[in-house]
Copies of this chain bind each other. A is one copy, B any other.
């Protein structure tokens, strides 16, 4: 455990979180170089490079850090910053490596509501995303998979949208498990409005997380920026349903860019809701998952303690063949046949037939009767 960050550091990050629209690459560079307190001071006074200025000049006079921290506290929340023990360091390593291709690196801070340690609950986490315009099939599968993952101790990360996202959160909650909703607006805002009750429950039993300060409103570009956090917080992303132009395909692309496992649930080819999933499968960049066990197996990192034995597989070319099978097939079904007839019918030489019949009898597949040999059905 490291020393807890000072209030000064938290206030500086709260200020920076409101001043710059995510994701401000130049500002993040300045913070990395000088630390948040000094970076915030330079931003306030405008003594920054043109790049940083272009990201901060519009809002640099907005001094609401204390007010924002009070606002999130009122809602049972807090500002989690990289200096905190609960900062999800490992999940964000890939964001810092590949953030340029994903619309942003590690966030400057995260506004969080809920009773759990963010680092702990993201140790074993999988993102489940998909269309808002989901089918009954998609919502059913999302809820089932989320239930199974949560029951196995895996946190389900999603975006709280209608459709697949909502079904995933509900499934995880239904299992009494953990779920994280990553929002494209303030963590205190119920968006979509119809999910007010669901978001309240997640804030009580799971975590509601946002890069945007309290009262921040959702905007299209924020959903794209937010998607990188969903992809980064999961060890892999499951796309349950996605239309041809679904936002879930953006999260899928980011998942790949981050080097995380992209998983896709197949669906009926007659369903428009699965078109995006099948495109991802066909492109060969996603692995097909049809069960919770396959998701756990695919994600791999925590496979050791969670994965069950893979379902028994048989060699498709190893199906019974050969002389014994041919002899078996030539046996009488309702009455016995002579070994000579079996030989002609099966095309197996008589001496081999005579050798094989007792073997089949021992195996419970043939019965010696008065007229010859009769077949016994395989049980």
Which A residues are closer than 8 A to B by beta carbons? 19-21, 53-55, 57-59, 62, 101-103, 137, 140-141, 219-221, 224-225, 244-245, 249-250, 252-254, 257, 265-270, 274-275, 277-279, 281-282, 284, 287-291, 294, 311, 313-317, 319-322, 325-326, 329-330, 343-344, 346-350, 352-353
Output the least CB separation between A246 and chain B (Å).
9
- Decide if B290 touches A269 in the complex (CB within 8 Å): yes
Give the shortest distance, in Å, between A296 (CB) and chain B (any CB). Answer: 13
Cβ distance A62 to chain B, nearest Cβ, rounded Å: 7
CA distance A350 to B54 in the complex (A): 9
Write the chain B residue with the least CB distance to A275.
B290
- In the complex the two chains form, what is the Cα distance from A252 to B317 in whole Å? 9
Pairwise interchain contact A249-B316, C-beta atoms closer than 8 A: yes
CA distance A102 to B317 in the complex (A): 7
CA A108 – CA B57 in complex, angstroms?
83
Q: Contact between B313 and A279 (Cβ–Cβ < 8 Å)?
A: yes
Assess A281 versus B257: contact at CB under 8 Å? Given A221-B320, A316-B252, A321-B221: no
Q: Cβ of B268 and Cβ of A137 under 8 Å apart?
A: yes
| Identical chains in the assembly | 2
CB-CB < 8 A to A291: which residues of B? 269
12 A-B residue pairings within 8 Å (CB atoms): A19-B347, A219-B326, A221-B320, A225-B321, A244-B311, A250-B319, A253-B316, A254-B317, A257-B317, A266-B268, A266-B269, A278-B288
CB distance from A313 to the nearest CB of B (A): 7
Task: Check A250–B349 contact: CB distance below 8 A.
Answer: no
- Contact status B347-A55, CB under 8 Å: yes
Contacts A320-B220, A329-B220 given: A20-B347 contact, CB under 8 Å? yes
Q: Which residues of B contact A325 (CB under 8 A)?
A: 220-221
In whole angstroms, what is the CA distance A141 to B19 when docked?
54
By the criterion CB–CB under 8 Å, are A270 and B21 in contact? no
- A311 CA to B141 CA in the complex, in Å? 27
CB distance from A315 to the nearest CB of B (A): 8
Q: How far is the CB of A331 from chain B (nearest CB, A)?
A: 11
Question: Of A101, A140, A224, A320, which is in contact with the most chain B CB atoms at under 10 Å from its CB?
Answer: A224
Q: Are A274 and B266 in contact (CB under 8 A)?
A: yes
Shortest Cβ distance from A257 into B: residue: B317
